[in-house]
Structure formats: C-alpha cells, structure tokens
Structure 1
Amino acid sequence: MKKLKKIVVVIGIVLLVLFTSLFVYLQSTKPQYEGEVTIKHIDKKTTVYFDEYGIPHIYATNQKDAMTVLGYVHAQDRLWQMELLRRIAPGRLSELFGSKALANDTFFAGIGIDEDSEKKVAELDKKSETYKLAMAYVDGINQYIENGKTPIEFQLVGVKKEKFTLKDVYNIFGFMSFSFAMAQKTDPLLTDIRDQLGMPYLKDFGIDGSLGTVQLKNYKEGQGKTKKNEAQLNNYTKIATAVARLLDQSPVPPFIGSNSWVIGSPKTKNGKVIFANDPHIAFSQPCTWYEAHIHTPDYEMYGYYLAGAPFPLLGHNREYAYGLTMFENDDIDFFQEEQNPNNVNQYKTSDGYKNYIVRQKIIKVKDSTSVTLHVKQTIHGPVMNGLLTTLNSKKPVSMTWVYTQQKNQILEAVHRLSHSKNVNDFYNGVSLIAAPGLNVMYGDAHNNIAWIASGKLYKLDKSVNGNFIMNGANGIDDKREFLDFSKNPSAINPPWNYVYSSNNQPEPIDGYLYPGYYLPKDRAQRIERFLVSKNNWTAQDVEKMILDNTSTNAAKIAKVVVSSLNKTGFSRLEKEALYLMLNWNGENDLNTIQSTIYNKFMYRYLENTFLDELGDEKFSALLSTHIIKQIIEPQITNDNSIWWDNCITKNKKETRKEILTKSFRETVSELEKQLGSDVTMWQWEKVHTVEHQHPIGKIKALRSFFNVGPYAVAGSNEVINNLQFGFASDGIYKVKAGPSTRRIIDFSNVENSMSILPTGQSGNPMSKHYNDQATMYAQGKFRKMKLNKKEIVTTSTKLLFEPAN
C-alpha cells in the first residue's frame, strides 16, 4: 500500500511539473504589448499604443518606419495565420498537414497563382513608394520571425519559421481573389443540367439575367469630379463539387458576399456622409481582419489588413472611408478541349493542333514522399484533369481566369486606395484592379460618395453563353472583347444621395447586362427601402440597420406556401406551424420560431423538387451555388415548373401542391422528433449557432483551447445581418460565414466611429485579445475605432520600438 501511495505521489508530481512547464511555456508565447523592442531598419523611435482591444496605434516619424513596425506587430499576433495564407496558392499545406491537404495543394499549385505572383513581383517598379513600403512591412515580419516568439501552432505541426517574401504577399492576394469567384461552382453544373436534362430545366434558373429585378443604378454624369454522355456529363459537375469542397475545407476562409452603403449628406441628420460596410467571409479563428492605426506627419489611416498584406483593403481616416463587397462578375471560363487523336501531347485550336505546355510542380508531403505534378496548359489556361482527383475524363477541360491572364496591379491598387487624395484619385486606383471583381465603396468628409466596380470586364461573342463550359477548338467561344474601365458600373455623387451594394446585379451599360453570379434581391431590396425611407440618418440608426434580421421575401414565400397546401387531415401540430408561418413578418431573432420551421421546410422542398432529377452529387453542387438562392422565389410560385414532377415515380405526375404539402408535413414531423411536440420550444437559437474554428481546433482534444464558441446567434441567410449556413437535412444550422467586421464611419463624428470583429484582434490563444470581442459580436454590439491620440494614450499600453545602432 505504501509503495502504491509513493507511485501515485510520484505520478502526481510528474503531472504537476508537466502542467506547470506547459503553463509557463504558454505564458511565454504571449504577444508583447508594452515595454521596449530594439529593431533594425527604422530611422527614429516609433511608439505603438495597444488599446483595450489590442489594436495597435502606430506613431512614427515616417511611413517606412511605421510599415516596418506594422509588419512586426502584425506578425506577433498573426504569424500562424500568415503562414497558412502564404502556403495555399503555391500548394504547400501538405508540408504542415500531410496527405489530407494534398488535394488542396494539387489544385492550387496547378492553376498558376504562384507563377503569376513571381512574374508580377518581377514587374514591380523597385523605386516606387508601393514597393518600398511593402518591403518595409515584409522586413518587419521577418525581424519578428528572427527574434520574436514562436507560436504554439508551429510547435504542434512541427514546422520551422521561414522568411516572408513579396511573392508571398502576391500569393495571398491570389488565393483571396480565387475564393471570390463563383464560376467554378456553377458553370460545370449548368452544363450538366443542360446536356443531360435539356434547356427547359434551366428555365427557372434565370441564366439570362431575368432574376436581377433589383439592380444597382449607374450614374455617369460628372464621373470622377468632386461633388454529352452521362459519364462525361457527370465529370463536369465533379469540377463544381470538388472546387466547392476545397474552398469549404480550406484552413483559410473564402470571401462570400457583403453589404455596404454610403449615405450622402442631404440624407443625414448632421449633414455629413455616413459610411457602412460588413464584408461577408467564412468564419475562422483567428478572424480575417487585423486592425491597425498608423499616424505619421504625412499620413494617417485606420486600416483592416489581411494576414501578410501590407496595405489595408478596408480603411478610413478623417478625410475619407472605403470598403468593399464582391462584384460577383464572371471572370472565369471553362473550355472543353479537343485532343489530337493521333498525338496525346496536342490539342485542337482554330489554327490547327498545338502542343500542350507542361509545367512541373513538386509538392512536399509531411511524413510521406513528395508528389511530382505535371500540369498541362493550353492557350486558355491550365487543364483541370489531374488537378481535381474527381475529374477522370480523357477529354481535357481547361480554365481561363482573368487574374492570371491580364495585367493586374493589385498591390499598387491597394496602396493607392489607402493613400488617395480625393475621389478622382481613388477612382484611378480602383482602375488598376483586373481581378477580383469588387464593388469598392467610398465616402469622404467633403460630402462625396461613390460606388465603383473593379475588374477587367469583357464581352463574349453573341452566339456564346458563358454560363456553360465552352468549346475550346472552334475559335469563337474564346474570343473576348475587353472593355475600357470607363464601361465598369459605377455611381459617383448620384442625385438620389446614396450608394449601396449587396452583391446584386448592376444595371446594363450600353444595353449590355454584365454576366455574373449575383445574389438575390432580398438584401438589396431591404437596404434600398431603408435608405429611401428617411432623410435624417444618424450613426445609431445605421447600427440598427446593419443588424437587421428581417427578410420580407422569406415572409412572402412562407405565405405563398401556406396558401398552396392541401390542408386536409392536418394534425394539431401542423395547424399550429401553419398559423405561425402565415403570421410571420420575416424576423430571424433568437426567439423566433418561424425561422426554424421555414429553413427546415426549405431543405425538404428543395430535396423533393430537385433531387430526383439531379441525383446526390449534382443536388449537393446546386446547394453550394448562388443560383439556388436566386431561383427559390420564382420557382416555388410557378405551377408550371418542370421540376415538380418526380421522375422516379411511374405513371404519375406530381404537382406543385403535392410537393409543397409533402415537404411541409415532413418538416413538422421531423421538428417534432428533433425539438419536441411543443411548438413554442422551436426557437431559432436552439438550432442556429456559430463556432469560430481554428485549423488545429478540429482535433477534439484541442477544440476548447483553439476554437471560439459556439454561440447562439440571430440573423439568417440573405438578411442584412447575413449569418449564412447551408440548407441541412438534420435541422441544425451551423453558421459558416457572416460579417467579418461591421464598420460604421460618421464624418460628423469620425473619432467615435464604430466597429466589431467576430472574435478578437490576436491569433495567439494566450492573448487576452484572442476572443474578447466574440460575445459582443454575437450580441450585436460595437466598440470604438479610436483616432484621438489623447484618448488612445490614456487607455492603452505602450510598446516602444528603438532603432538598432
């Protein structure tokens, strides 16, 4: 017994020592928010004040010093995130995560972002301010890598720190630009439906642009002035499903959508512009944006930075504010190539057969042998066969992407946006972006407002439909007429005194409706109704608006459904659910019951309507596209839709009433099993939650340490407070994406402008700023973006950067 006690004591001591050592080690990895740091390559002392949310306010004597220090403090909070982001485009995640990341690496290494980044860096003007400031930022990151603390994630995955390069910066921009695109999810699926089922099945899909009933209004006056066989068919959908899966499973979140609106001075109570923006991005931990405020004698900007990006994509100062939403234009096309039957190394063009260009890429895989990738390339771009493991057809499909095939001065553009002197200068900065397509929003202290769409836009031949995979050999489908930037949609100081974007379609220009993958009218209609309704807007009004959870279109659809049901034999519970839906105003608050019923019904309706014709894979692909959101309202009200009939049943033709009734009864039955027979207990908060996931938090034992949440949240799909989830059969709606920040800048009181992040400023789990905004965000609260130095100094810790001798 004594011996056993000794063993227990020894084990206890060993465990205590281990836990103490682990605790001491974790404490040692915390970011440094006060004290002194000696750093090379700065001219003068630079002071950083970290406010109560860990946001650095950098006061320097020149911009180069400020950028060097920014790189350093950014790295100490987000080095792991930087490491992940820079590895995606060149296909280097497998070095961290092994073979489970190989599919991701194969695809991204193959589409050519890394090669394009190298080319763009070589073309940079090395004497330009853009280059010098970007290199100063990279130098700051590298000084932290050399002298700073190593994040715990590096220890857990067993990777050594490597110096950052400017090519890494471009690779980060490249990945984020690709994640904006929707063509890779949509075109292959539509091609399959057309070829397998026929064009009548696409009538409800509005691919002619007919569903864009709420369009962004252009205003050009005074612009720029102040004031075939089943095996092959299935392979097309495999492109859509494979790319969607890669993006969904990526450890770095893709951009999804966004809202922004700028209210002109005649419509505000204080006679100054009010700016609002909430870019929608897939949730992750750490969250997407890093906030930093820079002040030098000749420059000031409060910016929102991607990890590893030297200039902010969102920002404001006392003079102007800017932000963005996704344009959703079409900048990717797929081509079915025709291989030479007598030479596997050639493909057909309108000028005869040409040889494939072959690039070789080596992907290193942790704990395994390296993989050598041979990427074929045509005049259109890389061949997808071999890059996507699901695409096994012998008929090659290539991909054309504006980002890698057009001059794209994205680093210069982002620098220009954050250093503009006026709206005209800002407009010229936007013109430098060939891809991605963005709605860039602007407002300033001089009462100018603007919406400007970026992107190198083009027209196809009138005989060609870009919604489908095109013919790569006929010399017609690949002809593109690139348009001058003056033809991009925009509105500068329009007479209606507001601009907005919620990823909806712009009006035609010169009679041409720009093709794209736009989102439905729900948010656009709601935003426009708000903006038109009053002329005395305040920042507090905008705070309420940015948190609006109501979908009048969902309420309208619910009433249409209820009126269409065959109610014969309905149970008590079905009648209660029906009554609730009939009296729903479209709110999606935490205690709303109708949201739970509506979204469960939506899945059952979609499944009962589309699954029989499409099968599991195509149905899953359809649910991942923007098209499914567009078609619900027109299709569900169309008695004559071809989709109502269940093609599996014989000698019977189902009707709209039958499918909707079947879906509604299944909804109530399944909710009773899931949440009980008391309908008042079916609150939205029980099924609609968000958890901000860290890549390593997927390991169950480490989940509570790295992940943040879960939290019950209000909001829903396609409301202004757009907390997005996929339609799910289990009735559990795990929010995947939403506002990556909510920002409101009031130029009548710019020092009290408001914002919030989904979790916190730091990516270090030991920092008190890792998740200190998470509860506030879930509850719809805001905190200040400080510009007033006196206030900053009195509420902050101080970290002094001394120049090394």
Structure 2
Amino acid sequence: MAVVFQWLVRLAVVLIVLAVLGVGMTYYLASRSLPDYDATLKVSGLAAETEIVRDNANVPHILAQNDADAFFALGFVHAQDRLWQMMMLRRTAQGRLSEVFGTATVETDSFIRRLDIYRLAVQSVSVQTPQTITALEAYSAGVNARIAQINQEALGRGAPEFFVFPMALAPWQPADSIAIGKLMALRLSGQLDAEVLRARMSLALPDQDRLIDILPDAPGAGVGALPEYAALVPNAPRYAAMPVQQINPLSPFGPEVFAGASNAWAADASRSASGGTLLANDPHLGFSAPGIWYLARLNLQAGGVIGATIPGMPTVLTGRSDALGWGVTSAYVDDQDLFIEELNPDNQMQYRTPDGWKEFETRKSIVTIKDADPITLTLHWTDNGPVLPGTFKNIGAVTPTGHVTALSWTVLTPNDTTMSAAIGLMSAQNVAEAINASELVVAPAQNLTLADQDTIAMKTVGAVPRRDAAHQSKGRMPSLGYVATNRWQGVMSFASNPGFIAPLGGILGNTNNKMVERPFPNHISYRWGDTQRVQRWQRLMQARQVHTRDSFIEAQLDTVSATARTLLPLIGAELWFTGEAAADGTVERQRQRALTLLADWNGEMNEHLPEPLIYAAWLRALQDRMVRDDIGPLADALTHIEPLFIERAFRDVGGASVWCDVHQSAPVETCPDMARLALDDALLWIGETYGTQLESLRWGDAHQAVQDHPVLGNVPVLRYFVNIRQSTSGGDNTLQRGLTRGGPGADAFENVHGAGYRGVYDFADPDSSVFIEATGQSGHFLSRHYDDMAQLWRRGEYIPMSLDQGLARAASVGITKLEPVTP
C-alpha cells in the first residue's frame, strides 16, 4: 500500500510540474507578442526617420517628417496593439470568418457575401483622392512592416489569440481600410430593421390607427441650434411568429436599437467663459474588449491632429487639431429601402421591373469553412440591390410567396469616397474647409459637429436618397420593386442636407434627435434615434449663460433621466400614497415601499441607488403587459421601452389608452390598473433575481458595463482575464448613455452600448482639452494597457489631450524610432 501511495505522490508531482511548465510555456509564448515600445527598428517603406512617443496612457504621438511616414507609423502602432482586432474586422468585411471559426459564423459570412462589401471596397480604391491613396498605401505598408517584424523575430504570432485560432496573416491592402469603413456603416444602420418591424407590426395589428402609438414619430419641429434663450404589398403573409435571433459576438448585425447613437455639442465664444469655442463628443457603439476606439496623435504637414481612430483605418474620426475640432453623431438618415421583387413564375431567374422581366445579375461565391465542406452561394442582384435571404432580420415574415426582397443602401456603391472625406477633414483649418471636405462622405451618414477658433457648425454629411413624392410607403416599409415611383432617383444635393452655421444662440448639438421637419420626400428620416436625451441636454445648455470645459464634461456625465421624470408621475398618478397600511411580507406592502422610494427620487440613474432598478423593471413589465395581448410573440421584438408609446397611452392621446385594456379578458382594465399590475410583476422579478430588500438594491449590480472579448470571452477561466466588467451609472435615456441589453432575461439591464470614447475640446486653450476611451490602448490581455483606462472611464475621469511634444516625452512609457532601410 505504501508503494502505491509513493507512486501516486510521484505521479501527482509530475502532473503539477507539467502543469506549471505548460502554464509557463503558454505565458512565454503569449508574452512574446507584447510589443517593445522602447526600440529602434529598421523598416521598409519609410522615407525618413520617424519617432513614436507613447505617453503615460500609451497614446502614441507620431512625429514624422512627411504625411506618408505619419500614416505608415499609424499603421505600425495599430498593428502593434490591435493586430487581432484588425484581422477580425477585415475577415468580417470579407465574409471569411468561417475559415477560422467553422460553422458558427457561416450565417454571418453568407450575409456579408450577399452585400458584396469587400468587392465594392476594392472598386472604391480607384476613386479616392491622391492624398487619400498616399495615406492608404503608406498605412498598409506600416501594418505590413509590423507583420514582417513578427514573422522575422518570432514575436508570438502578433497576439495570443492567433495561438488559439491560427490563421495566415495576409498583407494589408488599401481596400481593407475602406472595407472596415463600410463595415462600420453596417453597424450603424437600422432603417432596414425599422421597415421590417413596421411591416410586421402593421400585419399584426387589427387596428391600423394604433400603429402610430406603438411606433410613434418623433414630435416637434426638430432641434439643432438652440435659440438665444399592408396594402402596399398584395398577398403579404399575415403575421407569423419568428424566433428571436441570437446575436453572435462576431457578427456586425445587431438589433435596430443598437444601430448607433452619440452626443455632440458646441458653444461659440459668446457662450464660453474662456472666450474660445468649445466642443464635446461621445460616439456610442457596442462595448467590447478591447474597445473599437484607439487614441492617437499624428504630426501632419497641415499640423498636428489628435483623437480617436479605429484600428484598420488611417483616420482620426473624432478629435482636433490646433485650429479645428470635429465630432460625429449618427444622423439616422433613411438611407436603406427594402424592395419586394416579384419572380417570373415561368423563369425563377427573372424578376419584374417597370419595363418587364429582367435577368438577375448573379455570381458564385465560395465560403470556406473550417472542419467542414465549403458551400457555394449564388449571389443575386436586382436593379435595386442585393437579394437578401428571408432568414435575415425576419425579412421572410413580410415577403409574399413568389417574391424575394432586395436592399437599396447608399453604402453599396463602388464609388465610395467617404475615406477621402475623412482624410481631408484632418487637414482642414476651419469650419468652411471641413464642410467642403465632408461633401465626399457617402455612408454612414453622420452629423458632423465642428468648432474652429471663431465659429461652430453642424452639418449632416452623407448621401441622402432622392425618392419620388409618389413613393407608396415613403420608405417606411418594404415596397414593390417593379413600381417606378418606389425606386430611388439618385441622391439629394449636399447643399440640401441640414446644416447650422454660427447660430445666433451660440450653442448647437445633437443627441441623435430629430433635427428638421420637412415634408416627404425631403424629410431626411421618419425614424430618429432619440426623443429623450435631447430634453435633458436642452435644459443643461440653457441653464447657463456661458459654458466651460468642465460644464461640457458635466453634461457628458449627466445621469438624470428626463424619461423617468416624465413617466413616473403619469404611471403612478393613482398609486402614490394610496391604499391602506399593509402587513410586512405582503405584495401590497412591497408595492408601498417601492412607491415610497420612487416618490423621493429625482430620476438620477446612479449606480448606487435602488430606484433606477425598480423604475427600469417597472417600465419593462408595463410595456410588455400593454402590448402582448395585442401583438402576441411580436412583443419579443420590442426589447426596450418606447417612452412616447407609454406617454401616449397614459395621456390617452388619440385614444391610445385602449392599449391598457386586455382585450382577451372580460373586465375593462384602465392604465392605472395596468401600472399596478406591472409594478407587482417587476417587484416579483426583482425579488427572485436580486432579493426583496429594496433599500439594499444597487442599479450598478444590474447595470454592469459588459466589455467582453468577442472570441475568448466565453472560454472558462480565460474569460476572467479578458473580459472587463464594472458597475456603471446611466441608462437608456440619459446623456451618459448606458444602453441596456433589453429583453426579458436576468441580464436585461446589463450596459452593452455607450460612449466608448469621450472628448472635450477647448479652443481658448487647446492643450487643456481632454479625452478617454473605455478600456485601454492595447488589445493584448497581458498588457497593463489592456484595461488601464477602464476605471478612469467608469469614474468619469479623462486624460490630457495635448499636442505638446514635451508633455508626451516627460512621462513616456517608451519611444520607438522607425528608420528607413537604406540600400
């Protein structure tokens, strides 16, 4: 027995030693890919010596003697810190994820191939300006120089992920950068989803007059600059339940509510305490680790520029120079239309046009799949655009038998000059030059907020489709593709895009709210991204005669919900302080405790308070109770509350209170009845999920920012190293926006979409400007810069945004010198 025990001990020791060696070897291989920021390297493709000074936040300050070398160095640092992310973005745009991840991503690849994004990007290279061609080629050379260094020096394949998911690192090409820009447009698009949802809702509702309630139009004439103080498609299928689509973390296709948002505002010298212009911007995208943004400074011939870049693209998309600041917000231009294309019953390879039957444009595309046989897709295009499968975005639920659905979208052009606009913007010296440069933007359409030393402006940039006044659905729902008046007739002139320059009131801004009120077809959009945050923004901007950098920061970080302040008095009007005293432990007593807490609450969505969780759960339960008996399983598509819908019902606008009555029950329920029942539902859910002690609840426990690694985030043990989770304030409708996941699950209130970048620029003292990103500069989870900005971001802190070389050198974490290879 003793001998057996001795051998078991020896075996255990051997296994432990092997495990330690395995962990050590894994760490060694993974750490080999950590870049050395303090080095001198000889690289091909460089004209002159270039310095990369990384400040103490690991923001690279690129000091080059010419623009081409500056873009080369930007490509190099992007590849140093975010190579895996860049390769994933490129593969996504190419529809080649399945070569690495197998069958899990076949559906994503198939959709991307049908849109033909990468081929269109290749064709768009030739239409760029000479300045942009130079930038794209130099940037590509910089990326490839880093890849060559990795291969030559065996630097751990460039990132730890490449050991788990090995792939060949093909050289970077100019088209790759343009394709990533198109991919970002895909992530910011939501009009397609809106058309399908409106069509499905129209089919589901017996009373078409109620459509305006559940999918309301944004009210008012629009806000930009503040003052001084189923008949369309015959035989469409009736509503049928469709499964809720699960979101693949590698897929760029998200629900409509995640289609993009942002905040930007500016003040001129008359509304600035310092006497200089001010600008603030915080673009909102889905969270991930690493985040999508990467901070950088480039020393160009036109002057230094600093701000947020996206790895894979040679542009500062939001930032400043000494002379100009620029910020972007999603414009919600209606730049997508779905067309129901009738198939020829005698020849399924033909579709109906205004001039008769026409052959589809077709092309084969082979999707290679790891550990599985490849599949061959036949891509079909009509005059209106690519044909999409019925499984995509529930399109099949609104497509009649004998028809297919095609998509018209401004990004699906081989003449996309958006990259040239972004490159030109970095060289602009004033508002006028910036607006001129932005005329080249095609997609995604954005509201460009600008500030130079004297002037502020906001301009909608991007192609706006020109529609016929007789368009059957006005672009709001899928329409018949063979009706000539439904088809696009080119795009509107850039001059007709909304714009505000040097407003008399001295302040302008956008929270994705409605900007203008124009009749169709000059309307810009029926669907806007915000009707709520703009209310709080207006109050904060007009509450001060003059603003400062700090007051702009305060507005960016504001967590008061105007929605809560509006809706709670309505839905609780007959519940506050009513009813008899109830025994502890009863439903009535719990309801009274919740109402007492909410009655004293100011609407601040603070992570440490219980009231935001009670409020959010109550509103979610209330909307579900109001709609489910009318629209059935389609209620699952309404993952987030629509404040205007609830307000319309409780104010009985146009008879909207009918939504509060459960049609399938004998009694006639009122809106106060529904509010009481929904509150009980919410408190039951809270008790089961977080406990019954309401005063001990914390909104931040439910509203954690979920910054997960898209690939390694679900791997046991490893996920604790690669995912970044932290308690956060804010909510769906606060200026410090923390959009929740939505839906009925226990994770419904996780914070999954918000400001991954914040910047505030003060042109009275440009080097006092500040910025921050949500995670860190590095995409390598072993790097201390992987998450070193996360806590700063959570606490609402910023880092200096200075073009001063001395400050960057004073506390640098390393200086890399790139030297050209001499013959």
Range into which the TM-score falls when normalised by the shorter chain: over 0.9
- Contact 2:703–2:727 (Cα < 8 Å) also in 1: yes
Task: Give the Å deviation of 1:214.
Answer: 4.8
Q: Distance in 2 between matches of 1:548 and 1:748?
A: 24
Q: Distance in 1 between matches of 2:689 and 2:235?
A: 38
The equivalent position to 1:507 in structure 2, one of 498, 501, 516, is 516
Q: Distance in 2 between matches of 1:727 and 1:43?
A: 52
Structure-2 residue corresponding to 1:607: 624
The answer to whether residue 476 in structure 2 is matched with residue 474 in structure 1 is: no
Task: Give the Å deviation of 1:133.
Answer: 1.6
Question: For structure 1, which segment, 69-78 or 511-520, has the greater mean C-alpha deviation from structure 2 after superposition?
Answer: 511-520
The answer to whether residue 688 in structure 2 is matched with residue 673 in structure 1 is: yes
Task: Give the Å deviation of 1:643.
Answer: 5.4
- Contact 1:470–1:477 (Cα < 8 Å) also in 2: yes
Match for 2:410: what amino acid?
V
The answer to whether residue 187 in structure 2 is matched with residue 195 in structure 1 is: no
Judged with a 3 Å threshold, the aligned counterparts in structure 2 of structure 1 residues 306 and 400 are, in CA distance, closer, same or farther, namely same
Structure-2 residue corresponding to 1:106: 110
Judged with a 3 Å threshold, the aligned counterparts in structure 2 of structure 1 residues 306 and 506 are, in CA distance, closer, same or farther, namely same
The answer to whether residue 338 in structure 2 is matched with residue 334 in structure 1 is: yes
Secondary structure of 1:104's match?
Answer: helix
Task: Give the Å deviation of 1:286.
Answer: 0.9
Q: Distance in 2 between matches of 1:218 and 1:456?
A: 26
Question: For structure 1, which segment, 463-472 or 646-655, has the greater mean C-alpha deviation from structure 2 after superposition?
Answer: 646-655
Match for 1:490: what amino acid?
G
Question: For structure 1, which segment, 734-743 or 657-666, has the greater mean C-alpha deviation from structure 2 after superposition?
Answer: 657-666
Secondary structure of 1:338's match?
Answer: strand
Match for 2:724: what amino acid?
G
The equivalent position to 2:801 in structure 1, one of 748, 769, 785, is 785
Alignment of 1:76-95 (within 5 A): 76-95=80-99
Alignment of 1:316-327 (within 5 A): 316-327=320-331
Structure-1 residue corresponding to 2:230: none
Question: For structure 1, which segment, 467-476 or 667-676, has the greater mean C-alpha deviation from structure 2 after superposition?
Answer: 667-676
Alignment of 1:44-443 (within 5 A): 44-124=48-128, 128-148=130-150, 149=155, 150=157, 151-197=159-205, 198-205=207-214, 209-212=217-220, 214-217=222-225, 232-234=237-239, 245=247, 249-250=251-252, 256-296=260-300, 298-385=302-389, 388=392, 394-405=402-413, 407-443=415-451
Counting matched residue pairs gives 787
Superimposed CA distance per residue, residues 402-438 of structure 1 (whole angstroms, 9 cap, x where no aligned partner): 1114843111111111111221111111111122110
Judged with a 3 Å threshold, the aligned counterparts in structure 2 of structure 1 residues 707 and 279 are, in CA distance, closer, same or farther, namely same
Q: Distance in 2 between matches of 1:164 and 1:234?
A: 46
Secondary structure of 1:756's match?
Answer: strand
Secondary structure of 1:325's match?
Answer: strand
- Contact 1:324–1:438 (Cα < 8 Å) also in 2: yes
Task: Give the Å deviation of 1:16.
Answer: 2.3
Q: Distance in 1 between matches of 2:110 and 2:717?
A: 28
The equivalent position to 2:495 in structure 1, one of 486, 498, 507, is 486
Task: Give the Å deviation of 1:638.
Answer: 2.3
Match for 2:142: what amino acid?
G
- Contact 2:662–2:669 (Cα < 8 Å) also in 1: no
Q: Distance in 1 between matches of 2:85 and 2:220?
A: 37
TM-score when scaled to structure 1? 0.93
- Contact 1:63–1:299 (Cα < 8 Å) also in 2: no
Superimposed CA distance per residue, residues 262-313 of structure 1 (whole angstroms, 9 cap, x where no aligned partner): 1111111110011100001100111111111112554311131111101121
Alignment of 1:448-597 (within 5 A): 448-463=455-470, 464=472, 465-480=474-489, 482-508=491-517, 512-565=522-575, 568=579, 571-597=588-614
- Contact 1:562–1:581 (Cα < 8 Å) also in 2: no
Match for 2:49: what amino acid?
K
Match for 1:764: what amino acid?
H
Q: Distance in 2 between matches of 1:653 and 1:369?
A: 59
Task: Give the Å deviation of 1:635.
Answer: 3.4
5+ long unaligned stretches in structure 1 = 220-227
- Contact 1:256–1:280 (Cα < 8 Å) also in 2: yes
Structure-1 residue corresponding to 2:699: 684
Superimposed CA distance per residue, residues 712-749 of structure 1 (whole angstroms, 9 cap, x where no aligned partner): 11111111100110334345411111101110111122
Task: Give the Å deviation of 1:648.
Answer: 6.1
Structure-2 residue corresponding to 1:771: 787
Judged with a 3 Å threshold, the aligned counterparts in structure 2 of structure 1 residues 386 and 322 are, in CA distance, closer, same or farther, namely same
- Contact 2:319–2:326 (Cα < 8 Å) also in 1: yes
Secondary structure of 2:440's match?
Answer: coil
Match for 1:363: what amino acid?
V
- Contact 1:609–1:643 (Cα < 8 Å) also in 2: no
Task: Give the Å deviation of 1:229.
Answer: 9.1
Question: For structure 1, which segment, 270-279 or 398-407, has the greater mean C-alpha deviation from structure 2 after superposition?
Answer: 398-407
Match for 2:455: what amino acid?
N
Task: Give the Å deviation of 1:699.
Answer: 2.7
Question: For structure 1, which segment, 386-395 or 370-379, has the greater mean C-alpha deviation from structure 2 after superposition?
Answer: 386-395
Q: Distance in 1 between matches of 2:535 and 2:676?
A: 29
Structure-2 residue corresponding to 1:225: none
Judged with a 3 Å threshold, the aligned counterparts in structure 2 of structure 1 residues 654 and 341 are, in CA distance, closer, same or farther, namely farther
Judged with a 3 Å threshold, the aligned counterparts in structure 2 of structure 1 residues 578 and 248 are, in CA distance, closer, same or farther, namely farther
Q: Distance in 2 between matches of 1:535 and 1:526?
A: 16
Secondary structure of 1:528's match?
Answer: helix
Q: Distance in 2 between matches of 1:70 and 1:252?
A: 30
Structure-2 residue corresponding to 1:17: 21
Q: Distance in 2 between matches of 1:246 and 1:192?
A: 24
Superimposed CA distance per residue, residues 679-715 of structure 1 (whole angstroms, 9 cap, x where no aligned partner): 2112212221112111223333254355333211111
Match for 2:358: what amino acid?
K
Q: Distance in 1 between matches of 2:411 and 2:574?
A: 47
Q: Distance in 2 between matches of 1:476 and 1:666?
A: 49
- Contact 1:337–1:398 (Cα < 8 Å) also in 2: yes
Structure-1 residue corresponding to 2:760: 744
- Contact 1:212–1:520 (Cα < 8 Å) also in 2: no
Superimposed CA distance per residue, residues 1-51 of structure 1 (whole angstroms, 9 cap, x where no aligned partner): 333333223223222222222222222111121021111121221111111
Match for 1:628: what amino acid?
E
The equivalent position to 1:729 in structure 2, one of 730, 737, 744, is 744
Q: Distance in 2 between matches of 1:231 and 1:486?
A: 39
- % same residue: 24
Q: Distance in 2 between matches of 1:457 and 1:250?
A: 23
Secondary structure of 2:18's match?
Answer: helix
The answer to whether residue 652 in structure 2 is matched with residue 638 in structure 1 is: yes
- Contact 2:304–2:803 (Cα < 8 Å) also in 1: no
Superimposed CA distance per residue, residues 464-509 of structure 1 (whole angstroms, 9 cap, x where no aligned partner): 3211111112222124463211110111111111110100111235
Question: For structure 1, which segment, 518-527 or 702-711, has the greater mean C-alpha deviation from structure 2 after superposition?
Answer: 702-711
Structure-2 residue corresponding to 1:794: 810
- Contact 2:572–2:672 (Cα < 8 Å) also in 1: no
TM-score when scaled to structure 2? 0.91
Q: Distance in 1 between matches of 2:174 and 2:483?
A: 40
Q: Distance in 1 between matches of 2:683 and 2:61?
A: 54
Match for 1:688: what amino acid?
H
Superimposed CA distance per residue, residues 613-663 of structure 1 (whole angstroms, 9 cap, x where no aligned partner): 2232x2232326xx9355343334327326525666254443323222211
Secondary structure of 2:486's match?
Answer: coil
State the Cα RMSD in Å.
2.6
Superimposed CA distance per residue, residues 205-258 of structure 1 (whole angstroms, 9 cap, x where no aligned partner): 465x45346522499xxxxxxxx79982447x869x65x846885499976200
Judged with a 3 Å threshold, the aligned counterparts in structure 2 of structure 1 residues 252 and 771 are, in CA distance, closer, same or farther, namely farther
Judged with a 3 Å threshold, the aligned counterparts in structure 2 of structure 1 residues 677 and 296 are, in CA distance, closer, same or farther, namely closer
Q: Distance in 2 between matches of 1:788 and 1:233?
A: 64
